[in-house]
Amino acid sequence: MIPIEDRLASFSRIDLTELNRRAALMTRKDTKYLLTSSQVLAFLERAGGHFDVLDIEGKTAFDYNSAYFDSDSLHCFRDHNQNRRKRIKVRYRHYEDTQQFFMEIKLKGAGGETAKLRRPMAPEHFHAHQLPPELDDYLKSVVKAHHQKELPHSYRKTLQVRYRRTTLIAKAGPERVTLDNRLRFAQDHREIALSESLWVVEVKSPKGVSSTDRVLKNLGAKPASLCSKYCVGLSLTSTTARSSRFTPTVKKISALG
């Protein structure tokens, strides 16, 4: 079997500026899939002529380190578990290869669209367990502007998620596909690493349905609607969140791994 890295070597490459010009997609609809390495290879064989790959200083795979924040009652997790139409996720993200640090807020709208807002943050905040006042104020102002409601909660770090990502950018139309593997979850002193043969593939597009989804369907892949990294990671590492709508996804991950 030809390694995935070798298959990607045949793709045309673009830089981050070009990615943001063609497919920034800060407001979009996402469809996630759980694939094996052999399925990812088959997808790349079929999709190669339609996508470029993000390249930064000669690399096409990049390490991400995310710290998720939630309230003491885990309202972000519970809103997702209860399938509330308007909900949020709050995280810090360290793009390790470019040494960039951002606070990122993902807001799910009533129509199923996802808006992502972010702002640069000081590196020293990344390891803090509470939101500093300026970032807490920013979060509350964003939620009030987008969801028209006050946010009464205070937030603490609840989960650390690390993985490696490759990003494909459609040659025609605003679409991106991210390929994530080597996922690791940590909460307090409990850590779980998923199999390297398991991939979370996410198709990001303005409307949520594209030719890429049809290709994946033809390969036998089915959308994994309950595949939030935060919610799955919390289900794996926390007894508090273990029994939830995400349990079938956790079982599928175990079967694929």
The pair phi, psi for residue 117, each rounded to 5°, is -120, 145
At residue 1 the predicted structure's pLDDT band, cuts being 50, 70 and 90, is very low
- Residue 6 amino acid letter: D
* Res 243 pLDDT > 80: no
45-99 pLDDT tens trace: 998 889 999 999 999 999 999 999 999 999 999 999 888 888 999 999 999 999 9
Looking at per-residue pLDDT, the higher value among 109 and 44 belongs to: 44
Looking at per-residue pLDDT, the higher value among 25 and 177 belongs to: 177
Measured CA distances, 135 to 44, 119, 241 (Å): 39, 9, 26
CA distance 185 to 233: 6
The pTM assigned to this predicted structure is 0.90
- What percentage of the chain has pLDDT greater than the value 90? 63
- What percentage of the chain has pLDDT greater than the value 70? 97
CA distance 126 to 121: 8
Least confident of 16-20, 198-202, 241-245: 241-245
- Sketch the domain layout of the chain as residue ranges: 4-256
To the nearest 5 percent, what fractions of the chain are helix, strand and coil?
A: 30, 35, 35
* End-to-end Cα spacing for the chain: 18
* Res 184 pLDDT > 90: yes
- Decide: helix, strand or coil at residue 143: helix
Least confident of 127-136, 190-199, 210-219, 235-244: 235-244
* Res 226 pLDDT > 80: yes
* Res 206 pLDDT > 70: yes
CATH code of the region 4-256 = 2.40.320.10
User: What residue spans of the chain are helical by DSSP H?
Assistant: 4-8, 16-23, 37-47, 75-81, 133-147, 211-218, 229-237, 247-256
- pLDDT recorded at residue 241: 66
CB burial string 158-193: b at 16+ within 10 A, e below: bbbbbbbbbbbbbeeeebbbbbbbbbebbbeeeeee
CA distance 248 to 107: 24
Measured CA distances, 127 to 94, 168, 230, 249 (Å): 11, 30, 17, 29
* Res 213 pLDDT > 60: yes
CA distance 8 to 151: 43
Taking residues 91-116, report their average pLDDT: 91
